[in-house]
Structure 1
Amino acid sequence: MGIRTRVIGLASALLVALPLFVLGTWLETRIFDGLTSILQNQSFLSVILFFSVVNLNAILAFVLIFLSFRNAVKLVVERQRAVFGSSLRTRLVTLFLFFSLIPTLILLYISTKFVNAHFERWLPPNIAQTSQMSLKSETEYREKILTLLSNVDVTGSREKAVDFILPMDSGRSSSVFVREDLQPLLPQIEATLKKNSSVISSKAKWIGIEGTRFLAAVRHGNLIYGMVAPPAIHSQWQLLEAEVSQAQPGIELVRMSYYILLGAITVLLIFSALWLGVTIARELTGPLQSLAVATELVASGNYEVKIDDVVSDDELGQLARSFRSMVFDLRDANQRARASAHELELKAAQLSEKTEYYASVLQEVQASVFAVDDQFRLEACNPATERLFGILETSARGRSLGELLPREFYLHWLRPLMMPLVEKGERRVAGEFSGKISGRDCQLVVSCHALIKPNGERAFLVVIEDVTDLARAQRMAAWREVARKVAHEIKNPLTPILLGAQRLERRVLEKIQGPEHDVMRESLRVIVQSSDSIRQLVDEFVSVAQMPGPNLRSGNIVETLSLALRAFPRIPIKFWSSWKFGTLSHRPMRRAAILKRFPCMS
């Protein structure tokens, strides 16, 4: 991944550097072509120094432009990707550029005007005007001389119109005419004409005489007509032309140097503003980005985050210290909250387990249990209440007991029983009710308890136990006990009476004759019959006193116990068996029951 990144970076640098190289080469060529006329009369050292400064400024400008463009592109990319702080960085950079670009451009404009005005005053206007007029008069003089030579009359008085007439062949001197004051210059004139014979034609031209004077020459046939400029005019014109030709490029060169320097300063100021904006924005957004990332981590639940990179003493450092303190407090609070939550979960689990256990117990309790508020409105009840009074908890919750319970039972018995809980503040009341409930005779045991809810409101818990079957069973048991005692009390003297009657019949009846015999026999018969009747009555009492006999049959005891436990699904009962036998026979059970009832048979 690192190699690929470096390759991409190198390719990007080459793509940027290649156009810059081409642009720099083109600009260098254009600058060289444009400055050829300016630098042609300058020294080699001045040319090297000038181009070194130009190249250095160009390289500096390209580097600054590249860095500025890179920072600008980076800002745009970060803005498009919505990087944190990109908006602030863009605003700061734009602000710095705005407040630096306008003064810089104004300063550049004023400096340019000042440089132009200064270089326009480099030569005084009168001197520049005089120089220009002198150069112009020289030009006019030369053109006039050339015109005269071109129009010279070769057939008339030629000696008056020209300064010398010489043949093309230097060996011939018969037709030579030279003005007397120019006789000393004749060898130099001949040498100059011989040297420039190839350029002399029918069109007059100026030729220099070894750098001291100038002559104008024109060819007519085999003769050369010419005029020589005065020495003073030549030296003055040459000096003036040299000074003007050197002064003007020097002025332009210095002016160009000033322009390059001003351009470099402008680019440097703009880059400095851009760099300063980027640096200040980075100094501001760096700590803020660290704080933002840390805030997101804290918001996601990571309280181990640290921001050690922000250690300044300014407002950002104070903000970082406050954030560290906040994270430390949040970490402690989170640990305490987790401990409290764990404890609450344990308590909630225990409470839920207890609630489920109590709900299971209430579901299986055969007594009617229901809770009412202080206005005797139903809040909750168990299934036994539904079976006893035909109340559905889902539809009855919130309704008054007067609407749910039988009118006579509630108004004449239950409500008066519960009033001491409301009026006197008693904690518990109880009572027994005997009467008809839903068309059947019932005997109920009722207990009412006053409760206080967690919110401080009062409530009442009513427990109604249907003891109708229990009372019937108790009465039945009492009758059985009475029958057993009566049978015992009657059966004990009945046997001696019957035995005494039978003995009298065997021994006494045979000895009695006459009417007493009949009376005695009838009396004994009555005694025996009455004893049999009493015995039958005793047998009935005995049958009442005895419990019904068991109806034993063969079966699987494990399946029987499993079916019995299915009746209590809400109570957590663990049942397991390692019984490996099948069906049990009822005969051993019957034998065990007989032996238990009649121990004397064992």
Structure 2
Amino acid sequence: MFLLAQATNNQTFYERNYGKLFALNMVVAGMLLAVILWVSVRLVSRLRRGKFGTRLLIKLALIFGLVGVVPGVLIYVVSYQFVSRSIESWFDVKVEGALDAGLNLGRATLDTLSNDFGNKTRAAASQLAETPDASAGLVLEKLRDQLSASDVVLWSGSGQMIASAGQSRFQLRPERPTAQQLRTVRNQRVMTVIEGLDDPQSAINNAKIKAIAVVPQPSLGLLAEPRYLQATSIIPPTLVANAIAVQEAYREYQERALAREGLRRMYIGTLTLSFFLAVIGAVLLAILLGNQLARPLLLLAAGVSEVAAGDLSPKPALQGKDELGGLTRAFAEMTKQLAEARAAVDKSMGQLRAARANLQTILDNLTAGVIVLDAEGRIRASNPGAARILRLDLEAWHAKPLAGIEGLEAFGAAVQQRFDDFLSERSPQGPDHWQQSFELNTAHAGEPAANIITLVARGAEMPGQARLLVFDDISEIVSAQRAQAWGEVARRLAHEIKNPLTPIQLSAERLEMKLSSKLQDGEKAILEKSVHTIVDQVESMKRLVNEFRDYARLPAAELKPVDLNALIHDVLLLYSREGDATRGAAQVPVRMELDPAAPRILGDAQQVRQVIHNLLQNAQDASEGRPGGSVLVRTQHNDTTRRVRLVVQDAGAGFPEHILKKAFEPYVTTKPKGTGLGLAVVKKIADEHGARIELKNRVENGVIQGAQVSLSFGVAS
């Protein structure tokens, strides 16, 4: 259909694209036939299965298909005859004669213009017979106006330009007449040529008539050289355009006349293809329309089958205004109430499941531990927070007594007793829960190192004689409170004790200086010994006060990238010199196992240096006197957690259990002369750096081989 619409205006476009569009239409036709075949197979399958509405659908499809095909055949026959005869009428004898006459008329007009211009040029050449070459330019200007020419040139017999008027004056090498043209002019006295009609695109503005005539000679001298007058005139563009149009029309008519049989076949083929597409479309439309009519009955039949099978969900209904649509809506309304009732039940069940899921999610994400006990103290339920705090897999102890769990015997018994006391003493006006703090040792069996945590627990009664136990780990809070309290104590002690120490020392030294010369040797020795004792004790008190002051005034850490390995090397060199100066041969050797791949950590270099120094001094003090004892300093990089771990191990006797509980608190020490501030300062610096610190005894074959302190620092980005 698109080709037929374009053929009358653009025959070339029609012929160029006919093959492509014909193939494209064949592809579309094949696709439509495939769809019809697929639908037909489905109808046959439905018919064999005895599905309701299939026979009605086939009947409607046949009726609609017949209604569409019969008129199509009639239109095709009429159109076929019309196209065949119309194409023949296009190529009439009168049309061909008119085009031939127009072509001859154009040629005759051009010939007449050419002959007339040649005669005028010949007459003008006679006016140059008595004109010498030197003054020929002025005469050529007059002749140009007389001939209405665009260009006039006077040539010599040898082809040299003598004078010119018009466009040739501005050309460096004007076009010369050929030798053949000059010979023709000598024989015929004048010659005309029409140029520029070869290219139809530029012929309208470039078509011209060129005339060459012999200039008569004034004498019969044998030595006089002949001259030639060349004049050029532009052909009117309207005349050229009409001539070219007639010529093109004649040529196109002749081409179509020769190809009219092929054109007729193309038109008939397009018409036939359009007919088949229309028939296929009519059949497909018949099937679709039949399906629309049968759809309400099919929906109703499917709904009845579902209800018979016990499916009471809402049924689809059509919104049409006909009786079939109303029947589907009535059926859907009939099952609506039962469907709503079932939906309400499902909604209630869903809300119950959602509430349970929400409660479980809350319990799973609580940082506090939650345990539900029965009246006998057996575990009925617990959350991950409880397992994390107690460091036990409570799922494995389900339905077992809390007091029967290894390591939690005392805690379970205390909780059970607290519940019994609370329930026996509870009054209507009293609180509905009890609260108490506990200290637990969560270390596993066989580990001498204790891991003490402080819990604050709250208990309440639940329906069905169940008991709810909620607890949280407040060890870090207690530790922070203790550190804060010790800092305040250290500040006050440093202020109150340091002031009288100097007067005491000065007074003792003055007494020695005043009385030493007045006493006998025995009494003098007693005086000197007493003063020396006072001075030594004052110095010890000053050191103690300074350490308390440093602990209380520890500055805030300035975190920067620090090379931990390089810092350990520097501290060990300095520490070795200090050891050589103060302890001599008793110094305990220090071994290093540094991870070369350890990146820089984020820390305060001065404070980290103090941490290393404190840990090394404690380790050497603990290892002193042990045969073969040594101190190990190790660094380890964990790329997964992006942290660097510093480990210091000694070969001492380890920490007693009661020391491990409070090892990081001030004034807790196992040394006879220690102040107990070394690990407290290390813990405070670790907290400032966000580092995780761990203290434990190293156990091999059930024997304590020493203590180990480790700090885990974050990697600098």
Question: Do the structures match in fold with TM over 0.5?
Answer: no
User: Which has the larger helix fraction?
Assistant: 1
Greater per-residue strand proportion:
2
Larger RCO of the pair (alpha carbons < 8 Å, separation 6+)? 1
TM-score interval for Structure 1 and Structure 2 normalised by the shorter chain: 0.3 to 0.5
Which structure has the bigger radius of gyration?
1
